[in-house]
Structure 1
Amino acid sequence: MDYIVNKENEIYYECGWSSDNAVFLKLGDYRYVITDGRYTLEAKEEAQAEVIEARDLLKKAKELILKHKIKRIVLDPLNWDIDSYRKLSKVANIKEEKYFSHKKRMIKTDQELHIIKKAVKKGAKAFDDFISAIDTGIDEYELSYRFKEFLTKRGRRELSFEPIVAVNENAAKPHAKVSNKKLKKNDLLLLDAGIKYKRYCSDRTRTVHIGKHISMSKYQKFKDKKIQRVYDTVLKAQLKAIESIKIGMEICELDKIARDVIAKEGFGDYFVHSLGHGVGLDIHEWPYVNSKNRIKIQEGMVFTIEPGIYLPGEFGVRIEDMVMITHDGKVEVLSEW
């Protein structure tokens, strides 16, 4: 199969190197990375492909396609602008395959699983270390700033995404932005964050009670009875979904299992997103754990289980862990402690 990719993580997956201005082509037995002069030396040192320097990447790609007499080339139409698509279609027939790279990357190798486990462990440790920096009387901006210091080790590593730090009613927004909301004793604090290790992402959410002793455990005790009821419902949904994971089952079944638990407690209308998503080089990738995805669970998959209940104007609760299906068929829950 001959194909071309143009997104950084997709290029990295193919050859172990990428930049913000490059394309990768696999043409028969040949593998090429085309980039500009700013990156050539680095690419030649790291890329597991023949490196070609060019100012016009697409023009050079077309030349290579013609040189190898390629009749048909695969690309993801979601990743290319119309002009580039048209230019490529003039030198070869285009076979469109949406999410081409995501599908290839859905089943992780043992090496990838090892790296992801380390990413999760390092990210989870940052959550625990952050406890020492949580103070009442400071707002979400300051909390977020401090949290990012621990996550990145003061800039020594990258974030998987911009962390979510939300207090009480702000936590009712699944993708809350930080605000001037100040943290007080007995408040609810939702933290959603991850870090990158060797380019692979981690992702974790904890909803914690701000009391005398703060813990990042999934087992929380709140003063407010309604918060406790909601929290226990979310936790029950997450644990039920995780214990139900089996190789060969359709992934949409997991979404239904968690959703049924929440609906039975009367909060069905407040679980407003899918149960989870794959994690790898991208923070969101295949497989997506939702009500429509009928892909079967396979060895080598990594995805999140993150049910939530969001009560507008009151509070929100989400609990998230990454789950790994090892190549010997075991289900491992990462970052659970």
Structure 2
Amino acid sequence: MKPFGYLRAERADQALAAYAAHPGAQYLAGGTNLVDLMKLGVAGPPFLVDISRLPLDDVEETPDGGLRVGATVRNTDLAVHPLVRTRYTALSQALLAGASAQLRNAATTGGNLLQRTRCLYFQDTSKPCNKREPGTGCPAREGVHRDLAVLGHSAQCVATHPSDMAVALACLDARVHLLGPDGERTVPVTDFHQLPGDRPEQDTVVRPGELVTAVTLPPPAGARSAYLKARDRASYAFALASVAAVMTVEDGVVRHAALAFGGLAHKPWRARAAEEVLRGAPATRETYAAAVDAELAAARPLRHNGFKVPLARGLAVRVLTDLASRP
């Protein structure tokens, strides 16, 4: 057991001050990822700042008809919230597809966004890993990589981001609100996570000491949304591939479309190329297939994960077809 200090913060300014006073500190909310990493020896913060009691656990409708979700709202509470179920169906479906009921009852919105990769080499401290120890190498490229990235990876890292929720948020054009030593700022979810490049240890754009305070979603404007996930078993398994989609069809034509993939990259992958093909095109299965093919043309599968490309293609075409058929 590695000893560490602990403070339960009652206010945001108290949390920021405690973080600043203890180099290497980390924030703790639900702990469903951080505590596991501490047990594995992957993480060893000398000080934990518990933010679970901060007043960040509300889900509120915004004046423009959008939604503001506090960072400590539990995944279960968010998934079953009436406004989420009716207006942001993809988000509710994504949350319910993640982990187990017990973990969803503890995990928070902010923590879900910030969770680290589930790559076997990252979690095994006896193995080298550029994400855990920069410069040591990425054995996953030639080793066990069936579950890992086919899009946006680099020579330094082929890990995938494990969140289901973040994929739906990326598709829904959500924004993350941050509070830090330099004040408040907001970041689009699509820019919140980073591709590995030469710095795979930097998962997000969060600056030292910054605290996720909320996530906001724009008004749905009548668009339908859905999330679909493929995994090795029906429960408690991370996505081999997943798709979140938002679409509006009028008179047989796609007027609006947003698409994001999970399980394929180091971050939720917003499918901009596919969206360009979809907008203004006939709402047909042929259009959906052509759009997804345009996006997945950039895939660079490794030796054992090429199956993810046709899997993701099938999921996306299925979701788009289903959304277009709804009354």
Identify, as 1 or 2, the structure richer in helix.
Answer: 1
Bin of the TM-score, shorter chain as denominator length: under 0.3
| TM-score, length of structure 2 as denominator length | 0.22
Give 1 or 2 for the bigger CA radius of gyration: 1
| TM-score, length of structure 1 as denominator length | 0.22
